Amino acid sequence: MKPLEGITVLDFSQFLSGPSATLRLADLGAEVIKIERPGGDIARTMYVSDCKIGNDSTLFHAINRNKSGISIDLKQKENLKKIEKLVQKADVAVFNFRPGVAEKLGLSYENLKEWNPRIIYGKISGYGEKGPWKSKPGQDLLAQSLSGVTWLNGNAENAPTPLGLSLADMFAGQHLVQGILAALIKREKTGEGVCISVNLMESILDIQFEMFTAYLNNGHKTPQRSRVNNANAYIGAPYGIYETKEGYLALAMASIVVLGRLLECKALEKYENPVEWATKRDEIKAILKEHLKTQTADYWLEILEANDIWCAKVMNWEELFATEGFKTLDMIQTIKKDDEPVFETTRCPIRIDGIKYFCDRPAPEVGEDNKLLL
């Protein structure tokens, strides 16, 4: 039995943040009903590549698997009664509309609470519901750009560099999941539902807690990206990814003197004071950058791993998928419909008592379950 079996979730959200939250709830056993407008979620046509699965984008399929689906025009007042009936039987409702939209549709927390006092109402916005940013579009790249995180990536001479994943969306979704799970526990004690709110901006600020804590307590000194192989604006040498004669090598924290000895790089052995590994970070990394090009990544790995140096080969997806380490994780699942494969994707990364959770169904077609649920 999955831990959330018996919990029903109404997913009014679209794009990535809300659906990623309800995906995780579905993976853990909740029955998730995706509620779309008659034309379908916009994410059905948001392509992250030129690949389609059926008539929809891979993005839509990746985050809406394991859900049933209905389509209904929420702007038509007569449909509100149908939604009310669904809410009365539900445990959770999830929204990621702009502030004020749910209220205009008659789907405010207050309304849903009247229909079902036990409902847990989860909502995601871009920047919260107050202040001058409340009406800004809640889009991941824009949230990253406002948050300061783009100044932590790339080398010092590079322009601000966004993260290569929609982390504001993804973390907001996972923060909402945490809030919903806490609310379910609280409801067991009180018998009442609650309203959970998160937003993209606070989520991407939260994941910078290490950097902000340093900044707030060191006199507001702005973090300086390394000019050479930057991987963290606050961590000293050798932290970074380096080109070798063949392939790339990642080096985490290590004694520069020990590295110099193991790599047979005498130029590093003079940096005996650990303070210099930070104050002379770029100087040290420049030496490493040139020296590591003299041999292959595999050559250096054999030496460094044997001496318990934190390092790794930098792999692309093709290389990753071929490794025994990746195969052992069993992270890829084949989603089927009527026993026929539809597409492949990752599985839920959470194991409970060693049990891995896989998906029972692909993303729904537009209105696929209207007859059953409406």
Active site residues: 169
How far is residue 156's CA from residue 133's CA, in Å, rounded to a whole number?
29
Q: Which helix (H) or strand (E) holds 238?
A: none
- 244: alpha, beta or left, given left = phi > 0 and alpha = psi -120 to 50? beta
Total residue length of the chain: 374
Q: Looking at this protein, which amino acid is placed at residue 226?
A: S
How far is residue 363's CA from residue 351's CA, in Å, rounded to a whole number?
22
For 334-355, b/e burial (b = at least 16 CB within 10 A) is ebeeeeeebbebebbeeeeeee
Tokens 């679209």 belong to which residue?
14
How far is residue 346's CA from residue 332's CA, in Å, rounded to a whole number?
5
Q: Decide: 327 and 319 in contact? Cβ < 8 Å.
A: no
- List the beta strands (DSSP E) in the chain: 8-11, 31-36, 52-53, 56-57, 67-71, 92-95, 120-125, 195-199, 240-243, 248-251, 311-314, 332-337, 340-346, 351-352, 355-356
